[in-house]
Each structure stands twice: as structure tokens, then as C-alpha cells.
Chain A
């Protein structure tokens, strides 16, 4: 298949702020002179359901969607979502996983069980994995809501691009009162 584009999936749970994450990365990629497509599905999924954002960039991007086996990186904002999206990773792709657990309704009601040792099983599948406790880092930065920015910090190590580009995107996309916290969160994610 024609594929000189880079594909990144953000997988999370409604309310985890994947929207801000995609705004930040969109800004970085646009400033980097790439053709960019970002795709997310709104609607029912926002009521605490699984949410996913596709980010694709390169010289020219056609399809806005990422299919199974096509993602260079998957940024999972929650462990079970990492397991859910594993089959979207390229054979040589890499997973960045927030170790936070948010039990879904079937687990809460006892109809299903939260999978054990997700990160171990993903690593055993042969995928490259980097895991971090983004919730703890976000709290350390000053707000539990900055989990999304912590994960962007971790992603920045993989994608490269100059620190000043990420800084410009962070300050361009963060609300003024959250900027300080977001800067700290980004740095903690990058150093994790």
C-alpha cells in the first residue's frame, strides 16, 4: 500500500482531553510544513465511551483514517484502550501507554473483568512499549486534567521536531491559566 505518511492513534476514554492533544500535535505538524489530516468521531462516544483520534502526516495525506496494522505510534491514555487498539499497530510500531485504569461499565457492574497485566501482554506480543504513570505526573504538574499533555511530552521524544515547535503549539493551544501547568506536564512526560 502507498504509505509514506506517519500514522499516530490517540486512544482514550471520553473526557480525557484527546481533543487538546490533537490540537497541539496538529499545530506542530502544520508548522513543520506537512500535509496533515486529523480525524475523530464525536457523538455517542463522548459519554464515557472509547474515543479515538487518527493523526496522519507526510508530504501528501489521502485517507484520514488509520486501519489495522497501520499505526506507527499508538498513544493510549488508558491501559485497556491500549489492549483494544493493539491490532492497529504496525509490526514495527510503538505503544506509549498511560498506566491509569478506568474501568468501563461492564467491569463496574461485574459483567466482565478488567484484563490483568495488559502491559506485559502487549510487550509479549512483540510490540515496542513505553509506559508511564501520566496521572501521577499530571498531578505533580498541578492538575489531573493534564494527562493529555504529559502524553504529548512522551510522544515528542518519538516524533522529534524542535522543542521550540512544541512550545509554540503548547502556548498557542493552552488556555492562559493552564499554560504553566501544561508546560510542566509536557516536560515531565518528556523526561519520563
Chain B
């Protein structure tokens, strides 16, 4: 009997990769997609898994592996596909040799993202088939189906996930790994060299493939119908299907779309004809709805349901059935519990100093984005990965040089490797006196500690060649590079002030490992000498979760404190004692 296990949707996708005989997995981390590749790395020896510097590199690696005949995979969060879109839009023309699948994990509700884009739009624009599972079991099955589809139709296939699917566990039955022979490599320039002469021919193939995929959409078992009461039909997919089933049960019939691009036409017409009212229940953009309306099928969609955020069973019950749930409330407001920089976080001192100096801070994405929150509040912008460096250059050009001694960029080490270096090349090449601060905590912190090209370890934790950040920065033409310890506030302030004043581009690297790393050298917790503490709260300005004030005096939480000593440097009364 096949073994039943509880699996995260992401782990089930990884299991699907294994069972499909995939041998190459290359990704860049991004919530909620990260666990797919982390779990694929557990099949070491059978799957080569890696963290690439960014999603474009990862995508091109997977495309290369597919051309080599291997089954290949890349996984990313929704905004990651913005970075990987360029290769995929043309890989749509070349098609594949070995099956090629990309998972794109959307984040309705923006649990951990900077925007809420709906990646189904990409499938339409790039003319790529897209599958959407609705639970862990389907994550495994649809991944396997995606490889079969990819090879049968000679096309890269997109697997759309959302936070609830990626991060929910459900019951899964594991199967065997498929045995696959690697075919001999055969050169085929007309298929793989996309210069205009060849691309024009492939463009015709793409449209013909779309036509065949549309036919497939009418009959594929990925789309399934459940009969129900003729009053109400529901067209849905993914997590929304589960919410609808829970809210409406057998009060409705369902057309659950597993293939969400291309969408079927006759199937939808036939389904809709059976019901008095037809609802389209989909999170984010009205994509299925627009398709239905274009077919002339009258459906109710976004006039009832929001385009923003996640759905739930209550939302559907309320909107369709007018039912609301009784609930009791706590009689008073409860203070929020926002995420904070951890005790001992190496980013804290830098943001304290930047706030104190009152400079304009071009921010970026990572744990350090929390430097924007009170009490540090030391960030002016955050757009997308890498935008701090290129944005600072633009800001400085835009202010015609007038802000060069008053503006900086901050960027994490992983983000710098992802897309900061190209912006720095622009600073050097097109000359702005910009000051870039690389926050090197030796790890990708935000997404849960993935190794980076600059930390000397690969995805398996094995030694790997490390990019030397100082040498890299110098090699693009930046002459001033200073490495400092961000736990030392005086040094940090001195160097930042000095580098703001120089009339040439400059890079400061603040170097201290993330305090959550296993091998982080904790020091004993500091303590407050009550007779010395004046209760001035200067130590509260760094927003350390280990420090609070009780009875008018500062107090240190001994389980949280890692002895970094930053708080003591703020105290004019020498009230902090190092622990022993």
C-alpha cells in the first residue's frame, strides 16, 4: 500500500519532481516558494539542486538542462517571475527537450511580499500552459502531469501556487521515481537559436500549439466537474475551490479548473447551461470571469468578490448565501505584534546610525526592510530587489548632485548578489558619488537561511567557492571599499559620515553573521546595573526586543539577549554590564 504522509504543498511539489525523474533544480529563494527547492535538495545524488544568484539565472539553468534532455525545474515567488520572464517568454518559442516546469507562488494577501500580482497574466502573455493545484495531493499529481504535458506539447509548463497551497499540509500518497533515459544531444539550431529568421517560424508553431492546447483544455482530467443543485454553478480553481466547497457544499455544482491557461470554452458553456446562476470564484484578477464574459456566458464574479487579498469560506458564505458567523470579541483593543529585527541582529546598529544622521535611505528587500519600522524608522524607499543601488544613482542624478552627501543605499548580501551588482556597475560607469552599504550577515536571512554565492557554502551546506565582495566591488571600478563591524556604533557612524563626504563612489560592507545562525558566537546576556540606570530610555531607540523598561529602569530579557553590546553603547551612564 502506498505510504500516506502529511506534506506541505511545497514538499509535495518536490516529491512530484522526484517521482517525475527530474534531475536538475535551480531556484532563487522567495516566500512562499522556497521549501520546494530546499526539499528537492534532500534527494541528493538523484537530483542536482542549487540556489542560483537570481531567478533569471535559475530559469536559464533549467532551460539549459532541458535542452540537454534532462527534466528540469525552477521555482520562485510571483515577483521572481518578473526577473525570470525574459528567458521564459522566448523559451515559449523554443519549446523543450526534457520536460521543463516552473512553479510560481503567488501571495494573495501579501503575507510576505511587496505586491500582489497575479501570475496567471504571465501564462496568457507568454502563451504557456499553467496548472493550478488545490491541495497537497494535487501538488504532487499536477507536478507529474506538468512534465508529461511539457514533453507532449513541447512547451515549458507553469505551475501556479498560492501561499495557502504552498504552506498548507495535506495528506499525500507517495509513488515511485520514474526511470528516464537521457536522450543523445542533437543540435537543432532552427528550434533553439531564436534570431528573427528562426523565431518567425517558431512563432507560428507557438500559435498552433496554443490551438492544440485549447482542445486539450476541453477534455483534460485536470479540469473536473461535480454535479450539484441546479440553482447554482461555481467555476473556480486552486484554494478558492476549497473555500467554495466548504461554504456551499452540495448547494452548488462545480467546475474546478486545474488547467488555468488556456481555459476551455465548450466545457464552460456546457457547464453554465446547467445552472440558473453561475459564479466565478477566483482570488486576485478576474481572469476566468473575463474569459467567460468574452464567451457570452453570464457569470457573477468581481461585482461580488474582492480583487484584493485572500478569500475564505466565510467570505463566500456571506457573499452568496448572506450567512454570517457569530463570534465573540475581546472587550478592548489588543496591541499589534509586528515583526522586529531579532535581538543581536547585525542590521540594527546601521539603521540606528542612519536615523541619527538623518540621511535619505534607499532601501531594499530583506530582513533589513524592518529598518523602516519604528523606532528605527530609517528607510525612505523599498521597491524591488536591487532597486536600492540603482535607485540611489537615479536619486543622486535627479537631485543634480545636491544630495550625494545626504543619501545612501542599503542592500543585503544575498540581494546584492541577486541584482545589486549591476546597479553598482552603473554607479561606477555613469559616475555618481553614491554611497552603497552592503549589509553582509553571511546568509539569506529573510527567507530562512539559504546559503549565498558569497558565503562559501552550497545548498547542501558543503564548501563552495565564495565571491569576495570587496574584490568584486573594486573590480567594477569602485576605489573606496571599507569593511566595518556594525556592532561598533562609533566606528559605523564615523565611517558613514566620512564616506558620505568623499567625492567619488564608495561602498561600505558591514560584516557580522546573522544572530540566528547555528554557529553564531553568542555572548552571555548583558545586564542593567539599576543604581546607574537613569531611566532615560536612550537604549530603547534601537528597538531591541530584549530590552524593556519596567519600574522606570531598563531591563534585559536574558533568554533573548545574545550579548551583542549595542545597547550599552547608547548608555551615557554606563548602566549596562557585560555578562560573564
Are A64 and B170 in contact (CB-based, < 8 A)?
yes
* Residues 57-98 of chain A, each 1 if its beta carbon lies under 8 Å from chain B, else 0: 000011111011110000000001101101111010000000
Question: Residue A20 at the B interface, CB < 8 A?
Answer: no
Q: Which residues of A contact B549 (CB under 8 A)?
A: 108, 110
Contact between A49 and B246 (Cβ–Cβ < 8 Å)? no
Closest chain A residue to B343, Cβ basis:
A48
CB closest chain-B residue, reference A37:
B170
Q: Establish whether residues B330 and A30, one from each chain, have CB atoms under 8 Å apart when the complex forms.
A: no
The 8 A CB mask of A33-58 against B (1 = contact, 0 = none) is: 00111111111111111100000000
Judge whether A165 is part of the interface by a CB distance below 8 angstroms: no
Residue of A nearest to B6 (CB): A26
Most central of B325, B374, B375, B537 by chain A CB within 10 Å = B325
Contact A127 B328 (CB under 8 A): yes
Contacting pair A42 B540 (CB below 8 A):
no
- The reply to whether A30 and B335 contact each other, CB–CB distance below 8 Å, is no
Which of chain B's residues have a CB closer than 8 A to the CB of A70? 314, 325
- Given the known A-B contacts A47-B339, A83-B330, are A36 and B246 also in contact in the complex, defined by CB atoms under 8 Å? no
Assess whether B32 is interfacial by the CB under 8 Å rule: yes
Contact of A14 with B by CB under 8 A: yes
Distance of A68 Cα from B243 Cα, bound (Å) = 14
- A1-B247 contact, Cβ under 8 Å, with A43-B111, A47-B342, A48-B339: yes
| Residues of chain B with a CB closer than 8 A to A61's CB | 170
Return chain A residues, CB-CB under 8 Å to B245.
Answer: 2, 62-63
Contact A68:B339 (CB < 8 A) given known A43-B31, A87-B327: no
* Inter-chain contact A83/B164, CB cutoff 8 Å: no
* Interface status of B163 (Cβ within 8 A of chain A): yes
Tell yes or no: A140 within 8 A of B by CB: no
Contact with B along A83-120 (1 / 0, CB 8 A): 11011110100000000000111111111111100100
**B45 part of interface (Cβ distance < 8 Å):** no
A129 touches B (CB below 8 Å): no
Known contacts A42-B32, A63-B246, A89 near B327 by CB under 8 Å: yes
Known: A2-B246, A50-B337, A106-B336. Contact between A67 and B167, CB under 8 A?
no
Report if A64-B325 is in contact (Cβ < 8 Å); known contacts: A36-B170, A42-B112, A112-B335.
no
Residues from chain A with a CB closer than 8 A to the CB of B338 are 49, 104-106
Q: Known contacts A1-B313, A44-B111, A67-B313; decide if A26 and B169 are in contact (CB<8 Å).
A: yes
Q: Is B334's CB within 8 Å of the partner chain A?
A: yes
Within 8 Å of chain A (Cβ to Cβ): is B90? no
User: How far is B168's CA from A14's CA once the two chains are assembled, in angstroms?
Assistant: 18
Inter-chain contacts of A13 with B (CB < 8 A): 337
- The contact string, 1 if C-beta is below 8 Å from chain A, for chain B 305-326, is 0000010111001000001011
Give which listed residue, A14, A27, A88, A104, contacts B335 with CB less than 8 A: A104
CB distance from A80 to the nearest CB of B (A): 6
Q: Give bound CA distance, A67 to B242, whole Å.
A: 13
Within 8 A of A (CB), among B316-363: 317, 323, 325-332, 334-342
Known: A36-B169, A47-B367. A122 touches B330 (CB 8 A): yes
Q: Please tell me if the beta carbons of A39 and B167 are within 8 angstroms of each other in the complex.
A: yes
Taken residue by residue from 538 to 580, chain B's Cβ proximity to chain A (1 for < 8 Å, 0 otherwise) reads as 0010010101110000000001000000000000000000000
With both beta carbons as reference points, the residue of chain B lying nearest to A41 in the complex is identified as B111
Contacts of B239 in A (CB 8 A): 64
Query: Within the complex, what minimum Cβ distance (angstroms) separates B394 from chain A?
Result: 27
- Scan residues 115-161 of chain A and give those whose CB is less than 8 A from a CB of chain B: 115, 118, 121-122, 124-127, 144
Q: A65-B164, A67-B314, A121-B330 are in contact. Are A114 and B111 (CB under 8 A)?
A: no
Residue among B5, B31, B168, B323 making CB contact with A38, cutoff 8 Å? B168
**Min distance, Cβ A129 to any Cβ of chain B, angstroms:** 12
Evaluate whether A67 and B325 lie within 8 angstroms (CB atoms) in the complex, with A41-B111, A42-B31, A42-B448 already known.
yes
| CB-defined contacts of A47 to chain B, threshold 8 Å | 339-342, 367, 370
CA distance A13 to B156 in the complex (A): 41
Instruction: Give residues 456-485 of B contacting A (CB, 8 Å).
Output: none
Contact (Cβ within 8 A) B339 A36: no
Contacts of B247 in A (CB 8 A): 1-2
Please give, as numbers and ranges, the residues of chain B lying within 8 Å of A125 by CB-CB distance. Answer: 328-331
Q: Do residues B328 and A87 form an inter-chain contact, with CB atoms below 8 A?
A: yes
Residue B524 interfacial (CB < 8 Å): no
Residues of B within 8 A of A114 (CB): 335
With A42-B32, A80-B334 as contacts: A126 and B328 at CB distance below 8 Å: yes
Q: Are A30 and B242 in contact (CB under 8 A)?
A: no
A81 to B336, CA, bound (A): 10
With A30-B5, A47-B367 known to touch, is A86 a contact of B168 (CB < 8 Å)?
no
Is B230 in the interface zone, CB < 8 Å from A? no
From 385 to 431 in chain B, residues with beta carbon under 8 angstroms from any chain A beta carbon are: none
Closest B residue to A145 by CB, please name it.
B559
For A124, the chain B residues whose CB sits under 8 A away are 331
* Other 20 A-B pairs with CB < 8 A, given A62-B246, A104-B337: A30-B5, A30-B6, A42-B32, A42-B167, A44-B339, A47-B342, A49-B338, A49-B340, A63-B243, A68-B314, A68-B327, A91-B327, A106-B335, A108-B540, A110-B540, A110-B549, A115-B332, A115-B335, A125-B330, A144-B559
Which residues of A line the B interface, CB within 8 A?
A: 1-3, 13-14, 22, 26-27, 30, 35-50, 61-65, 67-70, 80-81, 83-84, 86-89, 91, 103-115, 118, 121-122, 124-127, 144
Identify the 5 closest CB pairs spanning chains A and B, nearest first.
A43-B112, A69-B327, A112-B335, A47-B339, A49-B339
Would you list 15 pairs from A and B whose C-beta atoms are within 8 A, ordered by A residue?
A1-B246, A1-B247, A26-B169, A43-B447, A44-B339, A48-B340, A63-B245, A63-B313, A67-B313, A86-B328, A104-B335, A105-B340, A111-B335, A112-B335, A114-B335
